[in-house]
Amino acid sequence: MDERNTEIHKLGRELEKLVQEERVEQERERFETIRKLYNDFIEGYPDIKSFVYLNEDLLCLVMARYFDDIYRFKLYSHSERADRHKQAAYSIKWLSRIRPIQLLPGTKATKEFLFINASFAIIVGVSFLELNVFEAIDFPFYKHLLLDIQYGEISGKKYATLMYTIEEMAKKQSGCKPESSSNNSQTTSIS
């Protein structure tokens, strides 16, 4: 019996090591994706581009917390993958909480910089969705979303529901058929 327990513990440690190696690779891939999204995003802000930078140490922390939430969700729900809405939500949650876009030393903090992390969090979040949702979002809605991300309670569950709703609104406006309740489990390749 002791030999069998020893073997089971050995297999458990090997499995844990494989999961950790997979997670490290996923974190690296997601880090690179977010860094590319940041470079594309910041090009749209030429007036402030030279006053901010992406703090890669904070971005690593974002990745760690994001994957903590993803793995916790998968364990809790007995699911192999988190759907795209949850992935979007956890990205928004941790980018808006940790705020990896920082001012360069000596830069005076002004209102132009106030919403940069919340704006970026929205961009990253909607990158998980199936279509360009910005056509379905009018400015008052976007402004409300931005204010909620900046000042509201940060909740992955709330943002997952919101991302699903936004995507469905965009589908409806574009003439695509909204998801049926039996098809809500679609996933993306990043978990």
Arithmetic mean of pLDDT, 51-67: 95
- What pLDDT is attached to residue 54? 97
Residue 145, classified by CB atoms within 10 Å of its CB into exposed (0-12), middle (13-18) or buried (19+), is buried
Arithmetic mean of pLDDT, 20-31: 84
pLDDT in tens, 7-23: 776 666 665 666 667 77
Total-model pTM: 0.80
In whole angstroms, give the CA distance from residue 64 to residue 24.
Answer: 9
pLDDT band at 159 (very low <50, low <70, confident <90, very high): very high
Higher pLDDT, 10 or 135: 135
pLDDT band at 112 (very low <50, low <70, confident <90, very high): confident
Higher pLDDT, 57 or 170: 57
Higher pLDDT, 43 or 176: 43
Counting every residue, how long is the chain?
191
What's the token pair of residue 15? 């499995």
pLDDT in tens, 82-101: 889 999 999 999 999 999 99
Examine the pLDDT at 191 and tell me if it is beyond 80: no
